[in-house]
A = this chain, B = another copy of it.
Amino acid sequence: MDLKDEFALIDLLTCGGQSTHWQRERGVGVGIGDDAAVAGISPGCSLVMACDTMTQHVHFASWSMRDEDIGFKAMASNISDMAAMGAVPRYALIALSVPKGTDEARLQRIYAGMYECASAYEVAIVGGDTTASISGIVITVTILGEVEAGRALLRSHAKTGDAVFVTGALGGSAAGLALLEHAQRSGAAAEAAIQAPLLQALALAHQRPAPQVAAGRLLLRTGLGRALNDISDGIASEAAEIAEASRVGLAIEEARLPRPAGLDAAAQLLDTPPLEWMLYGGEDYQLLGTVAKEHVHELEAAFEEHGLKLYVIGYATDDFSGVRLLRADGTVEPLAKRGYNHFATKD
């Protein structure tokens, strides 16, 4: 696009998203419109940085997400990376590449979703870049946050004997995507079937994940959280990362894994083992972490006091390395570090 177009497009997309006053109250000195943004970091805090890309036909398609959802989720997945460090998300930059001729209203809806998620988490969108792509929309969000110096919750902090926890139900996002894909392939009847509220809630888990910033902060502030990851790639993979980085083994008990309402109904409808979604599904954006065994009750009480959920699902051990699943039938199965193949059908 030419320069004039680019400036006009940036105005169109960002105008009214967050006021200068709103941003100023959240530490922004210079927002969108100069070579770079300038903003404050709290004294005593370190900078926390991450970025994530969402690509059309790879991470989303017209049948899996509305435009607003695409923007919301692009922001949410980044905010989740801050939660996974125990950090406070503060600022975001948006790099958007779009094919020439893309409907501006579509981009406005994507941006509206990004602003909706960002504002809900007090994140100021302070800049970005808008360029032409050859094919498909590519959205890269960079998130900047802060954490008390030396206190970030790393995946390498698990210790033998720790309890392993998650902050919410697993497999909802993958089940939701599978339902959406089923409706797309099988037409109107299937689409009607997934209008049932429980199944709709699973679709929503895929489209509008809720990053667990409050849980991450509580784990850090109480001083009780040790290792921490967010579940972007499935619990099997995330657990393997903690196990590897911390040089411990992690035992996960199948019977303790929290499952979302509707998961079994969806599994029956689609003739899929629900455990596949729960272990390898990914994009649940819950937190997976460890806490010293003797502090479990204290942490559970703190979570309950703050209206947050915590499920103990296993323990860290030096009896083995890697991750093992203790099946409900008493057998033990090593878990592969693999993710779920999200997209079978193209847009």
> With A29-B46, A35-B84 known to touch, is A51 a contact of B152 (CB < 8 Å)?
no
Chain B residues, CB < 8 A from A155: 34-35
Asked if B56 and A47 sit within 8 Å, CB to CB, the answer is no
> With A3-B338, A41-B41 known to touch, is A29 a contact of B127 (CB < 8 Å)?
no
> With A95-B140, A138-B133 known to touch, is A39 a contact of B47 (CB < 8 Å)?
yes
**What is the bound-complex CA distance between A135 and B58, given in angstroms?**
11
Contact among B132, B136, B233 for A3, CB-based, below 8 A: B233
CB-nearest residue of chain B to A150: B29
Q: Is A337 an interface residue (CB 8 A)?
A: yes
**What is the bound-complex CA distance between A126 and B40, given in angstroms?**
20
Q: Is A193 an interface residue (CB 8 A)?
A: no
> With A3-B233, A95-B140 known to touch, is A38 a contact of B48 (CB < 8 Å)?
yes
Asked if A237 and B46 sit within 8 Å, CB to CB, the answer is no
Chain B residues, CB < 8 A from A46: 29, 38-41
Copies assembled: 2
Asked if A131 and B58 sit within 8 Å, CB to CB, the answer is yes
**What is the bound-complex CA distance between A129 and B59, given in angstroms?**
13
Asked if B140 and A129 sit within 8 Å, CB to CB, the answer is yes
**What is the bound-complex CA distance between A235 and B90, given in angstroms?**
33
Asked if A129 and B233 sit within 8 Å, CB to CB, the answer is no
Taking CB atoms and an 8 Å cut-off, the chain A residues in 139-161 that contact chain B are 140, 142-145, 147, 149-150, 152, 154-156
Q: How far is the CB of A326 from chain B (nearest CB, A)?
A: 23
Taking CB atoms and an 8 Å cut-off, the chain A residues in 67-96 that contact chain B are 81-82, 84-85, 87, 91, 93, 95
Q: How far is the CB of A276 from chain B (nearest CB, A)?
A: 15
Q: Is A318 an interface residue (CB 8 A)?
A: no
Asked if A51 and B4 sit within 8 Å, CB to CB, the answer is no
Contact among B3, B30, B47, B97 for A91, CB-based, below 8 A: B47
Asked if A3 and B35 sit within 8 Å, CB to CB, the answer is no
Asked if B34 and A126 sit within 8 Å, CB to CB, the answer is no
Asked if B56 and A134 sit within 8 Å, CB to CB, the answer is yes
CB-nearest residue of chain B to A50: B36
- 24 A-B contacts, Cβ less than 8 Å apart? A30-B152, A30-B154, A33-B245, A34-B152, A34-B156, A36-B143, A37-B49, A38-B152, A39-B47, A40-B47, A41-B46, A47-B144, A49-B127, A51-B95, A51-B127, A52-B129, A53-B129, A55-B97, A58-B132, A95-B95, A133-B138, A134-B136, A140-B142, A144-B144
Contacts A36-B82, A49-B91, A59-B131 known; list 12 others, CB within 8 Å: A4-B337, A29-B150, A34-B152, A34-B154, A35-B85, A37-B48, A38-B46, A38-B152, A39-B49, A47-B91, A51-B129, A55-B131
